[in-house]
Chains A and B, each alone.
Chain A
């Protein structure tokens, strides 16, 4: 069964500090992996996409990594800001018709001043 597991479920960090979120997946066949940010009361918004051949990709203070061999991805947030408080969702696309997506349960990040 295709699954996406994220850890930790939640974390609290102080403003200005760094943190790393983890995503392990068993989706097959793999097409790509996206990290989404979901603010409270809003829909998810894409931060970055990782394809099979990519190891690292940055989007501002967000850096995603992908190890396709171990089926693991991480999202690193550098110099956190209060606006980074949100849920971060790892989403893996199955290589099949209909753009089917498999969602992780998300990591809830709270940045405190």
Chain B
């Protein structure tokens, strides 16, 4: 069982470059989310989706775009990378319901120079 798969695992970008972080899940989960994790801080929600074709902004959405064309995939796009976007990014998926568990990918460590 693959669970939640993120690619790439590591990435270095130059300021102003764009890129897409990939996230795929094989558990048929309706809910998918992107978080960023910075030292000393809790994970912060960037964007989330409650189903194919439906996305919404989280706590820190500026500089990021998402789309959800299928249940399985939820890519995160950085439009014009900035050093402030240096972070570890996690994708998570879950089913609807009060006590369902969020499953996380292994993360993408992004450095913007």
Please give the residue numbers on chain A whose beta carbons come within 8 Å of chain B beta carbons, in ascending order: 4, 9, 31-32, 34, 41-46, 49, 51, 89, 91, 93, 95, 97-106
Q: How many A-B residue pairs have CB under 8 A?
A: 58
A49-B101 in contact (CB<8A): yes
B104-A43 in contact (CB<8A): yes
B45-A101 in contact (CB<8A): yes
| Any A CB within 8 A of the CB of B105 | yes
Residue numbers in A under 8 Å from B100 (CB-CB): 99
Residue numbers in A under 8 Å from B98 (CB-CB): 31-32, 51, 93, 95
Closest approach, in angstroms, between the C-beta of A48 and any C-beta of chain B? 10
| Any A CB within 8 A of the CB of B85 | no
The number of residues on chain B lying at the interface, defined by a beta carbon within 8 Å of a beta carbon of chain A, is: 26
Residue numbers in B under 8 Å from A97 (CB-CB): 50
Q: A31-B98, A43-B4, A43-B104 are in contact. Are A102 and B48 (CB under 8 A)?
A: no
B105-A103 in contact (CB<8A): no
| Any A CB within 8 A of the CB of B106 | yes
A51-B99 in contact (CB<8A): yes
